[in-house]
């Protein structure tokens, strides 16, 4: 179910193994929804590890759940990854398109005796499960068909193909994050690799795709640890059959929790990546910096550039414990990147948001002024939404709407003062910050007032609010004619 613009690698394209060398990582989301922030961190760690080692970072869309996989979700995943700069080094592989290759491997396992036909019915499986529950023991498939003679196979019954998991000994994974993990082989079940309709299961597809894509390091959430032991059964069986199926290195990273320690959910801000961009107005470099600090760091460094991260990152330095998502820290970090961002780039991003706030905004006409205002607007903003709201006064047509707090400053005395200010500014020989400041300071001195007594009603008349960039910046950005017109609209 690929988008029209994306390349689908058919089963034959990767079959037989990859000729890639060195470190190869992959990010393999299921397209059943948006790109979750936890998934974005997994993609980032895969990307960083590959870049650190001069390797290859690949994408695979695990779209075997046909009922839930959608084009919209696929597009959202690609869109989010591209925004973060985490697009794959090669066109994405679509898992469903490789079903024939997955089935081919299943039949090899079957023919070599590493898998078997299982004719257990759903009713028989349910009875086995109920017996295990009654006896208070873990349910493990103990199929009578595991070692059955082919002569006993029914000819009129459907069957699944199950892998033959080892029953003795133990399997140890030297996990690069979690350290050594041991599982008794008796705990690994004979899971299904081909369904009764001949379609491959997820567990089989993942193993075959990782092999054919040449993946050397599987970096994913620690909720997949149990899957690693089950997948190794397949890998080692295929290695025994044809060689060239090495165990990948595993690195299972802890999940992200909310600030309260509970599993991350929407109430913690666990939105799709697109929401951080579109609704919250965050910059991708801020999101990346924050995500890489969720479970990994370099000393006390908080601000880490992409180049530094590539140099410093190693998966073995990722923490074993869950990280806590703190939205306030993310917003603070975004404020830093807003202040550091190029003004032309920021103006372009803000220009996309302003039409919804100011109907009279015209990007073609007003972009130059918006760019000019960025140095004084961005120092006060934590995100693009705040930047856009802060810029509204520049493009709002007269008569300027005045909010409640600003209206409270426009008393009769203040309006009379505005009339005097307008006359004073109208006579100004130069319309620069320095000249305007000198003129108004002199006026305040003549009236025996502090400069703030002039600035407060002046700001209200010029912007319609009580917060804005410095008053002299506001005057110069609006220009003489517009500034005087706005002041006189509110003057007595």
Q: Which of 136, 164, 266, 328 is catalytic?
A: 266
What is the extent of the structural domain holding 439?
A: 398-490
3-state DSSP assignment of residue 25: strand
State how far the Cα of 75 lies from the Cα of 78, in Å rounded to an integer.
5
* Structure tokens belonging to residue 277: 């961009």
Q: Is the pLDDT of residue 39 over 80?
A: yes
403 within a domain of the structure (yes/no): yes
**Which pLDDT tens digit goes with each residue over 348-395?**
999 999 999 999 999 999 999 999 999 999 998 999 999 999 999 999
Q: Which residue has the tokens 């990722």?
A: 318
C-alpha torsion sign, points 296, 301, 305, 310: negative
Nearest Cα neighbor of 482 from 465, 468, 461, 467 is 461
The pLDDT of residue 6: 37
The pLDDT of residue 67: 82
C-alpha separations of 190 from 99, 165, 167 in Å: 21, 5, 10
Provide the domain count of the chain.
1
152 within a domain of the structure (yes/no): no
348 within a domain of the structure (yes/no): no
pLDDT (average), residues 154-172: 96
Residue 486: CATH number of its domain: 1.10.10.350
438 within a domain of the structure (yes/no): yes
The pLDDT of residue 42: 97
Least confident of 8-17, 20-29, 40-49, 448-457: 8-17
C-alpha separations of 240 from 25, 171, 356 in Å: 24, 16, 63
Partner residues linked to 253 by β-bridges: 221
Q: Is the pLDDT of residue 5 over 70?
A: no
State how far the Cα of 417 lies from the Cα of 425, in Å rounded to an integer.
12
**Which pLDDT tens digit goes with each residue over 316-358?**
999 999 999 998 999 999 999 999 999 999 999 999 999 999 9
Q: Is the peptide bond before 12 cis (omega within 30 degrees of 0)?
A: no
Least confident of 149-153, 250-254, 476-480: 149-153
310, 51 Cβ separation under 8 angstroms = yes
Is the pLDDT higher at 61 or at 69? 61
Annotation says 328 is catalytic: no
C-alpha separations of 218 from 62, 202, 337 in Å: 15, 16, 31
428 within a domain of the structure (yes/no): yes
158 within a domain of the structure (yes/no): no
- pTM > 0.85: yes
In sequence order, which residues have a C-beta less than 8 Å from that of residue 374 and are 6 or more positions away? Answer: 343, 346, 347, 350
The pLDDT of residue 339: 97
24 within a domain of the structure (yes/no): no
**Which pLDDT tens digit goes with each residue over 228-275?**
999 999 999 999 999 999 999 999 999 998 888 887 776 666 578 999
412 within a domain of the structure (yes/no): yes
DSSP tag of 156: S
State how far the Cα of 90 lies from the Cα of 93, in Å rounded to an integer.
9
State how far the Cα of 88 lies from the Cα of 106, in Å rounded to an integer.
28
250, 218 Cβ separation under 8 angstroms = yes
How big is the chain, counted in residues? Answer: 492
């Amino acid at each position: 179910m690929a988008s029209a613009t994306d390349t689908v690698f058919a089963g034959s394209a990767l079959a037989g193994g990859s000729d890639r060398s060195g470190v190869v990582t992959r990010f393999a989301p299921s397209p059943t929804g948006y790109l979750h922030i936890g998934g974005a961190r997994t993609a980032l760690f895969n990307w960083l590890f590959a870049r650190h080692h001069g390797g290859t970072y690949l994408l695979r869309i695990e779209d075997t759940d046909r009922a839930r996989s959608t084009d919209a979700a696929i597009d959202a995943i690609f869109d989010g990854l591209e925004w973060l700069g985490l697009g794959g080094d090669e066109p994405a592989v679509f898992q469903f398109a490789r079903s024939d290759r997955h089935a081919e491997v299943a039949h090899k396992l079957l023919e070599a005796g590493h898998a078997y036909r299982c004719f257990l019915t759903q009713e028989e499986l349910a009875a086995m499960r109920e017996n295990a529950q009654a006896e208070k023991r873990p349910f493990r498939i103990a199929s009578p068909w595991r070692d059955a003679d082919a002569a006993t196979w029914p000819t009129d019954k459907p069957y699944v193909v199950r892998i033959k998991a080892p029953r003795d000994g133990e399997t140890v994974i030297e996990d690069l994050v979690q350290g050594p993990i041991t599982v008794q082989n008796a705990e690994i079940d004979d899971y299904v690799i081909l369904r009764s309709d001949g379609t491959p299961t997820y567990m089989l597809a993942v193993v075959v795709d990782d092999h054919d894509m040449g993946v050397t390091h599987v970096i994913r959430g620690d909720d997949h640890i149990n899957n690693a032991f089950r997948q190794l059964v397949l890998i080692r069986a295929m290695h025994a059959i044809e060689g060239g199926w090495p165990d990948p290195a595993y690195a299972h990273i802890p999940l992200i929790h909310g600030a309260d320690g509970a599993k991350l959910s929407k109430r913690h801000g666990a939105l799709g990546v697109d929401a951080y961009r579109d609704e919250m107005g965050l910059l991708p470099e801020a999101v990346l910096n924050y995500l890489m600090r969720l479970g990994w760091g370099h000393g006390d460094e908080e601000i880490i550039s992409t180049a530094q991260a590539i140099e410093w990152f190693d998966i073995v330095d990722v923490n074993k414990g869950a990280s806590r998502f703190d939205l306030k820290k993310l917003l603070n970090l975004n404020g830093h990147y807003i202040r550091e961002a190029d003004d032309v780039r920021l103006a372009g991003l803000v220009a996309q948001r302003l039409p919804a706030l100011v109907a009279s905004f015209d990007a073609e006409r007003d972009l130059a002024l918006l760019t000019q205002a960025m140095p004084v607007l961005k120092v006060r903003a934590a995100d693009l939404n705040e930047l856009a709201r802060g810029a509204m006064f520049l493009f709002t047509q007269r008569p300027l709407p005045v909010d409640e707090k600003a209206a409270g400053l426009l008393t009769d005395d203040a309006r009379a003062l505005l009339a005097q200010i307008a006359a004073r500014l109208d006579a100004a020989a130069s319309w620069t910050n320095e000249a305007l400041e000198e003129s108004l300071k002199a006026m305040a001195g003549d009236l025996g007032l502090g400069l703030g007594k002039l600035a407060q009603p002046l700001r209200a008349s010029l912007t319609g609010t009580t917060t804005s960039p410095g008053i002299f910046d506001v005057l110069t950005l609006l220009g003489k004619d517009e500034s005087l017109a706005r002041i006189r609209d509110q003057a007595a």
